[in-house]
């Protein structure tokens, strides 16, 4: 619960992002009473939705009546700031969003868009979920995932490294090895 410290409530923000896509199913379900209640029960205070190119508009709320404060916007020049100030991120399955969030060390639930034609995105989400770096859900199962998730079980993601590629490229081209 948002603990009072000298009367100041600690904000725990859930940030929902769909990137540059249109993913009304996620925005809708994030704005649903079921999910909002679940998030409130798990101790979150604010819900901020980045809705991208979608057409569904969430309902804003100040949260004064003992519920989640809800706000939304379409795009931002710096998602990174919103990610940094979030306690939980719920994202579409775009690799950019996923890795930006993982590199900031934020707990992440990835929601796969089932309306996409060639859904290779789900491969990445499922692989990372198998390695326990994030939770993977579908729009209809999001509230269950929130209810049952244990963020302490998540394994931190170690940043990748492009130097193996560079080494192979340099060797192929005949450039001398770096000392």
Partner 1 sequence: MEKNTSCFFSNSSPNLVITCFVAFITIILVRFLYVIYRTGKPLNKRTPQQTLSTLIVLGSGHTAEMINLLLVLQKDRFTPRFYIAAATDNMSLQKARVFENSLADSGVKGISAEFMQIYRSREVGQSYVTSVWTTLVATAHALWLMIKIRPQVVLCNGPGTCIPLCVIAFIFKVVGIRWSSIFYVESIARVKRLSLSGLLLYKLQIADQFFVQWPQLQRKYPRAHYVGCLM
- Which residue ranges make up the site for partner 1 (CB under 8 A)? 20, 94-96, 99, 103, 120-121, 123-124, 126-127, 159-166, 168-176, 178
Virtual torsion, Cα 32, 35, 36, 39, nearest 10 deg: -170
Q: Give 31 or 100: the residue with its C-beta nearer to partner 1.
A: 100
> Angle formed by the axes of helices 95-103 and 121-130, to 10°?
30
The nearest distance, CB 117 to partner 1, in angstroms, is 9
The nearest distance, CB 76 to partner 1, in angstroms, is 14
How far is Cα 169 from Cα 175, in angstroms, rounded to an integer? 9
The nearest distance, CB 119 to partner 1, in angstroms, is 11
137-171 burial, b if ≥16 CB within 10 A, otherwise e?
Answer: bbbeebbebbeebeeeebeebeeeeeeeeeeeeee
Q: Give 41 or 131: the residue with its C-beta nearer to partner 1.
A: 131
Q: Give 43 or 96: the residue with its C-beta nearer to partner 1.
A: 96
Q: Give 33 or 170: the residue with its C-beta nearer to partner 1.
A: 170
């Amino acid at each position: 619960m948002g603990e009072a410290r000298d009367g100041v409530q600690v904000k725990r923000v859930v940030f929902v992002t769909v990137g540059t896509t249109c993913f009304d199913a996620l925005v809708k379900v994030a704005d649903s009473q079921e999910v909002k209640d679940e998030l409130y029960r798990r101790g979150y205070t604010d819900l901020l939705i980045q809705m991208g190119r979608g057409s569904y508009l969430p309902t804003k709320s100040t949260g004064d009546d003992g519920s989640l404060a809800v706000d939304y916007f379409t795009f931002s020049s710096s998602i990174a700031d919103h990610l940094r100030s979030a306690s939980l991120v719920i994202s579409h399955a775009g690799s950019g969003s996923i890795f930006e969030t993982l590199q900031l060390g934020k707990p992440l639930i990835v929601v796969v868009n089932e309306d996409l034609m060639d859904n290779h995105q789900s491969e990445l989400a499922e692989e990372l979920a198998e390695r326990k770096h994030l939770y993977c859900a579908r729009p209809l199962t999001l509230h269950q995932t929130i209810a049952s998730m244990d963020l302490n079980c998540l394994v931190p993601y170690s940043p990748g490294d492009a130097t193996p590629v560079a080494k192979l490229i340099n060797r192929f081209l005949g450039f001398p090895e770096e000392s």
